[in-house]
Amino acid sequence: MQIAHTSTSLLIPTYMPEFLPQDSGEKSLWSESAIADPVSERLIGPVRADVLVVGGGYTGLSSALHLAQSGVRVVLLEAKCIGYGGSGRNAGLVNAGMWKNPDHVQRQLGMEIADRFSLALRDSPALVFDLVRQFDMSCKAIQCGTVNIAHKASSLAYLEDRCGQLQAIGAPVTMIDGNTAQTISGSPVYRHGGILDPSAGTIQPLSYARSLARVALQQGAQLYRNSAIENLAHKEDRWIAKTEQGEVSAQQVIIATNAYADSNSQNVRESTIPIFIFQCATPPLPVAIAESIIPQRQGLWDTQTLMTSSRIDDEGRLIMSSAGSLQGFHRSIRENWMRRMRERIYPQTRGVPWANYWTGQVGVTWSKILRIQLLAPGVYAPAGYNGRGI
Q: How confident is the model at residue 267 (pLDDT cuts 50, 70, 90)?
A: confident
- Whether residues 211 and 165 share a domain: the answer is no
* Sequence-ordered alpha helix ranges (H) in 135-232: 156-168, 178-185, 205-218
Residue 259 has what DSSP assignment? G
Global confidence as pTM: 0.93
Supply the pLDDT for residue 168: 96
- Whether residues 178 and 289 share a domain: the answer is yes
pLDDT single digits (tens) 30-53: 999 999 999 999 999 999 999 999
Domain that holds residue 327: 93-203+283-316+318-354
Q: How confident is the model at residue 3 (pLDDT cuts 50, 70, 90)?
A: very low
Average of per-residue pLDDT across 303-311: 95
Average of per-residue pLDDT across 384-388: 91
Q: Is 323 inside a domain boundary?
A: yes
- Whether residues 51 and 80 share a domain: the answer is yes
Closest CA to 167 of 215, 209, 118, 240: 118
Supply the pLDDT for residue 22: 45
Cβ proximity of 364 and 370 under 8 Å? no
Q: How confident is the model at residue 330 (pLDDT cuts 50, 70, 90)?
A: confident
Cβ proximity of 58 and 233 under 8 Å? no
- Whether residues 246 and 335 share a domain: the answer is no
Average per-residue pLDDT for the chain: 92
- Whether residues 188 and 229 share a domain: the answer is no
Q: How far apart are alpha carbons 295 and 307 in whole angstroms?
A: 21
One-letter identity of residue 65: L
Q: How far apart are alpha carbons 326 and 359 in whole angstroms?
A: 6
Q: How far apart are alpha carbons 262 and 252 in whole angstroms?
A: 19
Q: How confident is the model at residue 278 (pLDDT cuts 50, 70, 90)?
A: very high
- Whether residues 45 and 82 share a domain: the answer is yes
CATH code: domain of residue 185: 3.30.9.10
CATH code: domain of residue 68: 3.50.50.60
Supply the pLDDT for residue 243: 95
